[in-house]
């Protein structure tokens, strides 16, 4: 998905290494970026993945250190992504060819994905800031993407996940705050904050979207758990993906700038959603949450399909714990964080013992 670019983990981890004062490892990573991170590749790359991992990682490293190598590499890589925006609507395609500069899409036909084209604003604004080239901001912000999204009719104010970059119309009416939709909403509230609270368009789009989500997707289970369902042409799937569990933290983050009469409500909503996501961990045998969990047939916050019964180190639940802890200083969020850490540690410990003694059956 990176078009031949290497070192995604190295670059995505630069800011973490620096913040954790792992100085030797950071210098090793910096040297690798200087000497071995080459941009003369010719594969097909995911615009979204390259942006959030490479561009985001390089920008963070530059702002933390002021090291020019990170700024220069970020701008040059950003330039290689620009052909993805050469569509009739300005909505970028999901995949760009580094060889030809053309765009294409390998898996979703003629559709672009909301969470992908809606998660470029933060990085591309800073590419303009650091390069002086307005093309980055113009491509990824108001003049193209937001213009299309403002103009198009939205079912009940909801944003479906698939949009045609050719016609500018929705391809299907599937709405999710989890996978395919998630970071679109996150980037709206963060665009408002990053602008020094001057990007009122992002603010208005965020709160209007959140109101529609509350009205049409928010549910409370018979057992009292608050969750955000998925919407398929007016029919609800009473499930919540692990990816959607970032929303507790997002809603907490946005509560401060909501209308005064809504602030306490959003803080409570954030806490309730985060509690539900904790339950998806607490109700599993391993105390690690599944990829998706359902609310049906008397079962709540548990995976009901084998294809969703796995854990791949996703951060969304602990991310919400962190936001809620910082906002409330309620120790329960630290305790929940340790529970998840303990579940993972126990599994790794059991695996280690099993490897030492293969005859032992667990």
Whether 182 is catalytic is yes
Q: Which of 49, 237, 308, 339 is catalytic?
A: 49
Q: Which of 15, 116, 279, 316 is catalytic?
A: 316
Q: Which of 123, 186, 279, 291 is catalytic?
A: 291
SS3 of the chain: CECCCCCHHHHHCHHHHHHCCCHHHHHHHHHHHHHHCCCCCCCEEEHHHHHHHHHHHHHHHHHHHCCHHHHHHHHHHHHHHHHHHCCCCCCCCCEEECCCCCEECCCCCCCEEHHHHCCCHHHHHHHHHHHCCCHHHHHHCHHHHHHHHHHCCCHHHCCCCEECCCCCCEEECEECCCCCCHHHHHHHHHHHHHCCCCCHHHHHHHHHHHHHHHHHCEEECCCCCEEECEEECCEEECEEEHHHHHHHHHHHHHHCCCCHHHHHHHHHHHHHHHHHHHHHHHCCCCCCCCCEEEEECCEEEECCCHHHCCCCCCCHHHHHHHHHHHHHCCCHHHHHHHHHHHHHHHHHHHHHHHHHCCCCCC
Whether 291 is catalytic is yes
Q: Which of 182, 186, 230, 300 is catalytic?
A: 182
Catalytic sites, residue numbers: 49, 182, 291, 316
């Amino acid at each position: 998905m990176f078009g031949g670019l290497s070192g995604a983990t190295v670059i995505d981890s630069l800011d973490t290494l620096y913040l954790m004062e792992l100085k030797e490892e950071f210098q090793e990573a910096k040297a690798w970026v200087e000497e071995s991170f080459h941009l003369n590749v010719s594969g097909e790359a995911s615009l979204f993945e390259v942006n959030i991992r490479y561009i985001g990682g390089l920008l963070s490293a530059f702002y933390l250190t002021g090291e020019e190598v990170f700024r220069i590499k970020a701008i040059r890589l950003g330039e290689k992504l620009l052909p993805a925006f050469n569509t009739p609507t300005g909505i970028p395609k999901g995949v760009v060819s580094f060889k030809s500069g053309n765009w294409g899409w390998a898996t979703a036909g003629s559709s672009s994905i909301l969470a992908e084209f809606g998660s470029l604003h933060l990085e591309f604004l800073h590419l303009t800031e650091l390069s002086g080239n307005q093309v980055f901001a113009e491509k990824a912000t108001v003049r193209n993407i937001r213009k299309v999204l403002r103009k198009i009719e939205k079912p009940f104010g909801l944003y479906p996940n698939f949009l045609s970059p050719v016609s500018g119309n929705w391809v299907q009416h599937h709405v999710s705050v989890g996978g395919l939709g998630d970071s679109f909403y996150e980037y709206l509230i963060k665009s408002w904050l990053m602008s020094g609270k001057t990007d009122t368009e992002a603010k208005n789009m965020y709160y209007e979207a959140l109101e529609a989500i509350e009205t049409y997707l928010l549910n409370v289970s018979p057992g009292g758990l608050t969750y955000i369902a998925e919407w398929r042409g007016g029919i609800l799937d009473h499930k919540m993906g692990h990816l959607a569990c970032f929303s507790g933290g997002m809603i907490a983050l946005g509560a401060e700038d909501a209308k005064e009469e809504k602030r306490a409500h959003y803080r409570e909503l954030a806490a309730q959603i985060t509690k539900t996501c904790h339950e998806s961990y607490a109700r599993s045998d391993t105390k690690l949450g599944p990829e998706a969990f359902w609310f049906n047939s008397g079962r709540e916050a548990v995976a009901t399909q084998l294809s969703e019964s796995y854990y791949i180190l996703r951060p969304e639940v602990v991310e919400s714990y962190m936001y809620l802890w910082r906002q409330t200083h309620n120790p329960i969020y630290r305790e929940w964080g340790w529970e998840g850490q303990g579940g993972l540690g126990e599994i790794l410990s059991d695996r280690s013992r099993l490897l030492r003694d293969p005859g032992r059956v667990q």
